[in-house]
Structure 1
Amino acid sequence: MTHYVDSEVARLGTVLLHRPGPELARLTPRNNDSLLFDAIPWVGRAQEEHDAFAAALRSRGVEVLYLADLLTETLAVADARAELTEQVLRSPRLGDTLRARVADHLAYLDPAALADVFMAGLAHEELRIGAERPGGLVWTLMDRHDFVIDPLPNLLFTRDSSFWIGDRVGVTSLAMPARRRETTITDAIYRHHPRFVGTELVYHPGLEHLEGGDVLLLAPGVLAVGVGERTTPAGAERLARQVFAAGLAHTILVVPIAQERATMHLDTVCTMVDVDAVLMYPNIASELSAYTVVAGADGEPRVDGPAPFLRAAADAMDLDQLRVIDTGLDPVTAEREQWDDGNNTLALAPRLCVGYERNVETNAQLERAGIEVIAIAGSELGSGRGGPRCMSCPLVREKGGAPA
């Protein structure tokens, strides 16, 4: 199977999603902040909304793969099972006695049940502990509502843990402690699942912090990388080195963004909806700048700038200018719809995108600009601060990013 992505807008062929499951039901008022959710989602409704999202993609000819299915199939591979189990058991907070009990528990699970534990976690009360199977001091001192293995509710946002550039995948290095185990799962899938045999990685966990929501493929050979709350300058530089060495791009635009919850990734303020059009949050559009990074003759990244982002992007993409479509119609509406992921659209093809239905004014702006919007419900899906782009990792797009 050939997987290939070189733009944000070329016709989408295959996408990786994660249908929300039991891990969302683990969220409570006690832990939702540490697990990076702004509210406690209604799980059943979130699943309905996600199913409608997947159905909308399939109706346009997109193949939908589910992370849970791929993980279950990956865990049927002995090396992958041993690797992921060892990574969970490595946690220093377990202690030796509890670690032994957890290892015994995981050893008896079939691949599907083990996948559920790796995604939804293992609660204190779910572990069989008794006189003959003591949990030790760590288990005894845990609150009954605590987790022995933490859940991963942010798996919903598959864009953050991996992204494709050409025929190579970048498995990211997530910044927030609550999310770091996500990439161990993604990494194992790409290295062990039969579908991805032979895939080369252009980035991997353990490198400097870099998240997929900050990586935009503006055009073949041109990337934009946001630097802010989640992706560090060192992560952007490392990606540049890796990408240039592999010959995957000629220009990378490094874009500083505010280190705030509403602008945690570049794709929360800017996404592409056509080969020459971006949807942007107007409150920062004129202020956004970019540093242009290219490979020098000695192979070292060469940095120029800063320059206005829109000008730098158009130059790198060999365009006279980029068309800009604003979020909302006025400052108040723009701020509201920015918070509700109005900018976070997923392009299925040039001039065709998916967006949340609640962002009425932004969707109207897109339609007036000739962009068809497939509007989906997202009242529950959005509680983790992510839209259709955040919830999807394209694996296959048509080459070249040309209009459909």
Structure 2
Amino acid sequence: MQTTTMNYRTAIVSTLAEIGEPAWSALLALQAEANPFLSYAFLHALHESGCASADSGWQPQFLVLWQGDTLAAALPLYVKLHSYGEYVFDWAWADAYQQHGLEYYPKLLSAIPFTPVSGTRLLARDGEARAALLAFLQAQQQASQVSSTHILFPPETEARQLEEAGFLLRSGVQFHWLNPGYANFEQFLATLEHKKRKNIRAERRKVAEAGVTMRQVRGRDITPALWQFFHRCYSNTYAEHRSSPYLSLEFFESIGADMPGNILLVVAEREGRAIAASLVIHTADTLYGRYWGALEHVPCLHFETAYYQPLEFCIAEGIGTFEGGAQGEHKMARGFLPQKTWSAHWLAHPSFADAVQRFLERERGGIDAYLDELNEHSPFRA
């Protein structure tokens, strides 16, 4: 669907192929807070593999603004039929709607599917284009008669812009590791309290004494057999929790082919046989802990594979930040510190909007108190 507004030609697209990789990448290159998850390769793989598609309850409905042949602005947007794979939980809101005889789904969601990583959502060439994109979104909210719109994990500056546009802000907590320039892993350990340092060494020793060795494989060196092994591990972890994996082998093979420079696979082996793996995504500045799985249990193997090996990689490569993903206070004992995250929410029903606003005000106070408490228990030496 295309319309014209002010200086822009607007459109709603159901596939990134309608935009094209060159135009998308050119716009993304102008964003100060972009990341690999916003790349054409990552998003297109999610859609084409069926992991984030209409059939899976993630119907792509990206909003785009053109100036001539130039992509001026874009918003990753989905029509959602459920709340799975979001990491900002609104199940209670959906239940409240149902109890009052109202439909909560479908809703609009701007997010990277299955990826709790902060990054710009209102992609725009300049402030004028961003304002026009936001106006386009607000028009779609009204025209589509959805219950609500949710924009997950925007940077704080963008969250404040959304607040000015009438969205309600919600905060959360993640844990990130920061690298001031450690020469090696031992130098990092030396900055921790004695008990934390001792526990990490004990955890790594348990893995070594179990006869497990570790191997780091860069994206360009991951073979089809390794991708199949990793997906077995990833799927097995979901099965152990009586759940179904969100992502398919086709998705992982696609990003492996199209963005190998951003991928690191950590493989754990024992007696010549691979038994576990973790997959991380990285740039020159930031590493994102993403996916993990194992075919057999070894004490502390998760910590070694998903935390300590990626930390060593960060130190060796001079990567400044390791984002540990959603939740997990246990990360603090391993040198990760709490960071506030944001989401923005618009609800069409006035009474529910008022109720959610009051809830978020109470929740915000709890989040701030939680952050204060966490910061009082820093794992680092005074």
Give the TM-score taking structure 1 as reference length. 0.28
Q: Give the number of the structure whose residues are more often strand, by fraction.
A: 2
Higher RCO structure (Cα 8 Å, ≥6 apart): 1
Q: Give the number of the structure whose residues are more often helix, by fraction.
A: 2
